[in-house]
């Protein structure tokens, strides 16, 4: 059941008190000044963050607690913003960020396009699965995945068992506007790339829906979408804490 905004805020505050040993946060509003920060750029007793100026301390704390020692794994179609948003979230939560495609290129010493061209999608997916299985063994960190990664049943099972998955869901026009700016998507090198993208959307969205959390990737600054992710994580953790104390 979805909670209304006021109920979500109340749930976050109650859950934050549980995390803080029963004491409410002294100031729920985001703080951007230097007061209270130590010499390393971290607020005493709080998670460090850079540009999360509109996220409250309790939201950041709850989002970080939602991970524990797990990885936060972003799934979704190409153009959803998994890398851009994931990198911001990693900064805000103070955990490492890894782009699985970049990691695949590092270990193979080939670009994603060259891997597809020389070995085909099946071999690429097998390598992708091995890389993600290795990444899931460590944590906590933020991981962005390729659009097809979550479609693999083995990979999906590993993410479900060892990570917290977030689907960045965008509509077709938003995705097309983003991916059409660059000619670097192997799966879109077809006669009718937008139709190909729609076919991928129709096929993959029912599977992406298995992710634990869904956040809309909309036409907005990446900081705004990242803030939506932080609040979704905070709500997820708040509900978990409430259920545990029933």
Q: Is 101 annotated as a binding residue?
A: yes
CB-count burial class (<10 Å; 0-12, 13-18, 19+) for 100: buried
Find out whether 83 is annotated in a ligand binding site: yes
The reply, when asked if residue 139 is annotated as ligand binding, is no
**79 labelled ligand-binding:** yes
Q: Is 238 annotated as a binding residue?
A: no
- Per the annotation, does 218 bind a ligand? no
Q: Residue 80 annotated as binding? A: yes
Is 76 labelled a binding residue?
Answer: no
82 annotated as belonging to a binding site for a ligand: yes
Residues with Cβ within 8 Å of 35's Cβ and at least 6 positions away in sequence, in order, are none
Q: Which residues make up each annotated binding site?
A: 79-84, 101, 125, 147, 185, 204
Q: Which residues make up each annotated binding site for ATP?
A: 79-84, 185
Q: Which residues make up each annotated binding site for substrate?
A: 101, 125, 147, 204
Q: Which residues make up each annotated binding site for Mg(2+)?
A: 83
């Amino acid at each position: 059941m979805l909670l209304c905004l006021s109920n979500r805020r109340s749930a976050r505050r109650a859950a934050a008190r549980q995390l803080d040993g029963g004491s409410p946060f002294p100031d729920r509003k985001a703080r951007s000044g230097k007061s209270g920060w130590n010499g390393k750029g971290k607020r005493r007793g709080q998670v460090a963050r850079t540009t999360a100026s509109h996220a409250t301390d309790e939201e950041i704390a709850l989002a970080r607690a939602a991970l524990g020692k797990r990885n936060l794994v972003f799934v979704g179609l190409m153009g959803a913003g998994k890398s851009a948003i994931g990198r911001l979230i990693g900064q805000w939560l103070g955990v490492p960020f890894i782009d699985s495609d970049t990691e695949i290129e590092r270990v193979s010493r080939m670009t994603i396009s060259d891997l597809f061209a020389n070995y085909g999608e099946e071999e690429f997916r097998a390598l992708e699965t091995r890389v993600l299985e290795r990444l899931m063994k460590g944590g906590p960190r933020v991981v962005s995945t390729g659009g097809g990664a979550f479609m693999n049943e083995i990979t999906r099972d590993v993410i479900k068992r060892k990570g917290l998955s977030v689907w960045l869901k965008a509509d077709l026009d938003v995705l097309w506007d983003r991916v059409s700016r660059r000619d670097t998507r192997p799966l879109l090198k077809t006669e009718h790339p937008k139709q190909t993208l729609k076919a991928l959307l129709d096929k993959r969205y029912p599977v992406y829906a298995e992710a634990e959390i869904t956040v809309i990737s909309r036409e907005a600054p990446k900081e705004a979408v990242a803030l939506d992710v932080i609040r979704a994580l905070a709500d997820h953790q708040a509900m978990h804490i409430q259920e545990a104390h029933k």
